[in-house]
Chain A
Amino acid sequence: MKNILKNFPFPFKTGILIFSAVMIFLPIILINIFDSKNIIETKPYLFRLILLIPSLIATIGFIYCTLGYHFQIMRGDELKLRIHLESLNVAFTTTLVFLFILIFAFVNFAPTMLNYILIILSVIAIISYTLGAEFIKEKYQ
């Protein structure tokens, strides 16, 4: 399994990434286009499908892209792999620290915000990875 993943070329990554990004916001657009209150009351199963199917497609797309970019880096240049791994380290540590800070802050001051903790942590992880990569690149220049 590991060898299959290592050798699989993961084609159309950028296209799939853009498509997944569109898909994740599609339910919001669809609900605004249709009469959402009417759909929720008369056809709740349709409302669930509008939410579920694009989110599922987006999730599969994001997983595909994550694996694709990861294995592309693993197969490629060793300095880029080093930068990638060090950036992942920075992102993981930052996310973990923020997890504890946010749990403390939300539980004590804004319990409803706990619903959004995963989204907030995802954004923090992406930003810390990107910033981390830039700082680490400078170290090797």
Chain B
Amino acid sequence: MKNTLHILRAERRFSQDDLAKLVDVSRQTINAIEREKYDPSLPLALKIAKVFQKKVEEIFFLEK
């Protein structure tokens, strides 16, 4: 699964650690999601979407 997390994070000037604290996970989890090594659970994807005030499908999407 692809995602635009690192772009959104850069736009908001959040560090991985800042975002991790906002969604209550470890920095390693955010790093693994950004590098597309790990697909987040639905609750975590919803939390991330809420932080960036976007829909989940705008951040996470399947490869074309």
Residue positions of A touching B, CB distance < 8 A: 77-80, 82, 139-141
Mask of B37-54 contacts with A, CB within 8 angstroms, 1/0: 110110010000000000
Contacts A78-B40, A141-B31 known; list 11 others, CB within 8 Å.
Answer: A77-B26, A77-B28, A78-B29, A78-B41, A79-B26, A79-B29, A79-B38, A80-B29, A140-B32, A140-B37, A141-B32
By a beta-carbon cutoff of 8 Å, the part of chain B in contact with chain A is: 25-26, 28-29, 31-32, 37-38, 40-41, 44
User: SS class of chain B's interface: helix, strand, loop or mixed?
Assistant: loop
Q: Is the CB of B38 within 8 A of A82?
A: yes
Residue of B nearest to A81 (CB): B41
A134 CB to nearest chain B CB (Å): 14
Q: Are A77 and B38 in contact (CB under 8 A)?
A: no
Query: With A77-B29, A78-B25, A80-B26 in contact, is A139–B44 under 8 Å at CB?
Result: no
